[in-house]
Amino acid sequence: MEDRPLDLMIPGPVPVSPDVLEAMGQPVRQHYGPEWQPFYEQFIARLRRIFETTGSVYPIPASGSGGLEAMLGTLIGADGVVGVITNGFFGNRLLDIARAHTPHVEVLQIPYERPADPDETRAWLRARRLRVLAVVHSDTSTGILNPIADLAAAARAEGAALAVDAVSSLAGAPVLTDGWGLAAVATASQKCLECPPGVAPVAVTSLGWEIIDGQPAPSRGWYLNLRNWRRYEREWPHHPYPVTIPSNNIVALNRALERILDEGLEARFKRHRQAAELLRGGLERLGFTLFADRRWASPTVTVAYPPDGINAAALMERLRVRHRIAVAGGLDHLAGRVIRIGHLGNQATTERIRRLLGALEACLREGRAAPGSPSLGATRAGAPRPAAPGRPRRPRRPARRT
């Protein structure tokens, strides 16, 4: 590995502030008992403020997918019925998780190029009578933000409630868990929460519990079964979780939450919107084509086709080697065709975005001036961008990660 660290502009994990890393490196603490308990209660209170809920919050020791599986598996119960909206790689992840828990999964498949539509969702639900509908807020594969507030209202009108993947949105875009009437929301520590990976906080509202308790059969899982987490919370107040929680990760996350709340949620949302706009304007000036229409572009992730004749993989390589900046490649049918840039948490600053744009400009200039070593030219004729919105395809095998 090169000595000079990479500046991570991938859509998670994000660079972590030194004080959060320092908190992570403190001596290991006893993860229960009279000294830990008041600290843990404050930590959960902070998470509640960020989820904007008075409901239950559990810091599941896992990556984001672990939190999603805990949320969805518990809501579905054993062999229950569930609906999933998908318009991206991570919508398909929700679908895979749902199918691991029940054969009774209804799918509302939307093209990758647009968000889910509340009226369409309502009509679709009317024909089905579902209680739980899972959807991704900001799909990190497309940079499209689904309109959760309106989808939740549409679902409510048909007797359903949303289970939301807010992995790349919570603390970067508004998520009103109670205010929007959601059943549950799951996220991950390594995105807008500005922490190393390892903790997947999950929130469940009273509506979510009503659905869970009304399921004919509980989920067969144990570790990722939120009923179990609730049982320990109720019955073991000195140790309100069923497992040894990763205390160093929790201490670090607590420090990150303090920083987030000190900044203020509204100020953060504005910072993310401004960083997104700065990046998008800059990319367009450099000749990139944005994947997501600005009307529904996520404030935390941008996906873009490189300028004509520029190969996405070669561009990413040059950015990494010459400028020590990492961006991510495309997922599913967008692999090799787009780059994905994170402006989550600490990435969403004018300074970082300007540095990235400057480096991209230099790469394009150098690449055009000296085609051949290494070339930035397209390797496949006509590959860079589609003439018309393409049909989404399911991945045949797990594609490149974020």
Ligand X SMILES: Cc1ncc(COP(=O)(O)O)c(C=O)c1O
Q: Where does this chain bind ligand X (CB under 6 A)? A: 12, 63-65, 90, 93, 136, 139-140, 165, 167-168, 188, 402
Spatial CB neighbours of 116, under 8 Å, sequence gap ≥ 6: 85, 87, 108, 110, 135, 146, 147, 151
Shortest separation between residue 168's beta carbon and ligand X, angstroms: 4
Shortest separation between residue 189's beta carbon and ligand X, angstroms: 9
Shortest separation between residue 201's beta carbon and ligand X, angstroms: 12
Shortest separation between residue 384's beta carbon and ligand X, angstroms: 24
Which C-beta is closer to ligand X: that of 65 or that of 311? 65
In angstroms, the CA 12 to CA 168 distance is 8
Which C-beta is closer to ligand X: that of 257 or that of 314? 257
Beta bridge partners of 371: none
Which C-beta is closer to ligand X: that of 240 or that of 342? 342
Which C-beta is closer to ligand X: that of 57 or that of 363? 57
Which C-beta is closer to ligand X: that of 94 or that of 364? 94
Shortest separation between residue 367's beta carbon and ligand X, angstroms: 28
Which C-beta is closer to ligand X: that of 64 or that of 174? 64
Q: What are the φ/ψ torsions at residue 335 (nearest 5 degrees)?
A: -60, 130
Shortest separation between residue 111's beta carbon and ligand X, angstroms: 18
CA 345 to chain centre: 12
Shortest separation between residue 90's beta carbon and ligand X, angstroms: 4
Q: Kindly write down the DSSP assignment for every residue of 276-331, as one continuous string.
A: HHHHHHHHHHTT-EESS-GGGB-SSEEEEEPSTTB-HHHHHHHHHHHH-EE-EE--
In angstroms, the CA 335 to CA 303 distance is 11
Which C-beta is closer to ligand X: that of 93 or that of 318? 93
Q: Determine how many CB atoms are found less than 10 A away from the CB of residue 151.
A: 27
Residue nearest to ligand X (CB): 64
In angstroms, the CA 333 to CA 316 distance is 18
* Rg from Cα positions in the chain: 21
Please tell me whether 340 is known to bind a ligand. yes
Spatial CB neighbours of 233, under 8 Å, sequence gap ≥ 6: 56, 58, 240, 241
Spatial CB neighbours of 193, under 8 Å, sequence gap ≥ 6: 50, 170, 171, 187, 201, 253, 256, 257, 260, 345
In angstroms, the CA 218 to CA 78 distance is 6
The binding site for substrate comprises 340
The binding site comprises 340
